[in-house]
Amino acid sequence: MRFDLIRCHGSGNDFPLIDARALDLSDGDWARIARVLADRGGPVGGDGLLLLTAGDADHAFGMRMFNSDGSESETCLNGLRCVARLGFELLGIDAARVRLKASSAEVARKAQIAPGVVTVETRAVASIDLARVGLRIAGDALIEGGVPGLPSARAFTAVAMPNPHLVSFVDAVDDGELSAIGEWAESAPDILPGRGNVSFVELRNGGLFVRTFERGVGLTDSCGSAMAASTFAAGLTGRAAFGCEVTVFNRGGMVRATAAAPEDGAVVAIAGNATFFEDASVGIEGDAVAERVVHRVRRDEIAAWDAVLADVTI
């Protein structure tokens, strides 16, 4: 199998991106291709695989996202910015409604957050319904509460974006502690059989700093849906005002986020980079990349994002 792909990132969350609108492969094939391409030890690497998929009567195009373990997620908001950019470029549009696995999101080109940085805003609805999060504990919602059975006494807020997130506000992020809870979530415990993304969040520099252990991946430089869930959770717990823009920092950079209150629709808007850094083609044989040809390294975009990182105090 041969594919043309674009290697891209949103806030350092990096992916190979394939225009799959005309491709007809099984879910099992895509899961295998995700594991091969996103393998950090292989010639491509990434936090998962993004697919631009065909649109329908209600959507200009669609997105599918496979984690590096081959599992398919309900969404990926850093990835959605990159998929949206490709969709915009191929269709000659600047805004769209996008079909996700079982939901929709709005995307639009925005003014550049920094010179030379292509910027896209995603808008997705948050939910605190525990059934949607897939967290099987007593009650309808969990807002800053303990999770019986979780190996931590910390208080968590559960949010579906619609992928599952557990968010805890901490004084200082401890990667070891976060990873231990993330690994527990990866074990698909009885109370979280669909697993989940786990984030620790600090109030930092007037904004939020979010560190996430992602379902199907592990610790990443950033996770867009976790930043959305964290902004929503900050509103729910009185740490940030609903309707006001918050800068959300992460290991890979920053985004600007605004969450609407539940009574105002619970839409979380995230504006951030959609950086394309390499155009390549790959040949895959079995479980390995047999050939990789790099056609273009987009040095201008790499430099533009490096300048943002040099400016951001994380």
CB 241 to ligand LBFN2T5F: min, Å: 23
- ω into residue 16 within 30 of 0, thus cis? no
CB closer to ligand LBFN2T5F out of 119 and 197: 197
Question: Which amino acid is present at 57?
Answer: A
Q: Answer yes or no whether residue 225 interacts with ligand LBFN2T5F by CB under 6 A.
A: yes
- The answer to whether 118 and 85 have CB atoms below 8 angstroms apart is yes
Q: Does position 216 bind ligand LBFN2T5F by CB under 6 A?
A: yes
User: Looking only at residues 93 through 122 of this chain, which bind ligand LBFN2T5F when binding is defined by CB under 6 A?
Assistant: none
The backbone torsions φ and ψ at residue 119, rounded to the nearest 5 degrees and listed phi first, read -125, 135
Using the rule CB under 6 A, is 77 a contact of ligand LBFN2T5F?
Answer: yes
Retrieve residue 170's tokens.
């901490």
| Residues 6 or more apart whose Cβ sits within 8 Å of residue 301 | 116, 117, 118, 275, 276, 277
223 carries an active-site annotation: yes
Helices within 18-142 (DSSP H only): 27-37, 77-91, 130-133
Contact 312, 156 (CB under 8 A): no
Residue 207 or 224 having the CB closest to ligand LBFN2T5F: 224
Residue 218 to residue 247: CA distance in whole angstroms: 24
* DSSP line for 182-233: HHHHHT--TT-TT--EEEEEEEETTEEEEEEEETTTEE-S--HHHHHHHHHH
Q: Could you tell me which residues are beta bridge partners of residue 168?
A: 200
- The contact mask relative to ligand LBFN2T5F for 147-186 (x = CB under 6 A, - = no) is ----------------x-----------------------
In angstroms, give the least distance from the CB of 102 to ligand LBFN2T5F.
Answer: 13
Q: Nearer Cβ to ligand LBFN2T5F, position 104 or 292?
A: 104
Residue 82 annotated in active site: no
Ligand-binding site membership of 71 (annotated): no
Among residues 223, 246, 260, 269, which is the contact residue for ligand LBFN2T5F, using CB under 6 A? 223
- Which residues are documented as binding site for substrate? 13, 67, 163, 197, 214-215, 224-225
- Return residues touching ligand LBFN2T5F (CB under 6 A): 13, 47-48, 65, 67, 73, 76-79, 163, 197, 214-217, 223-225
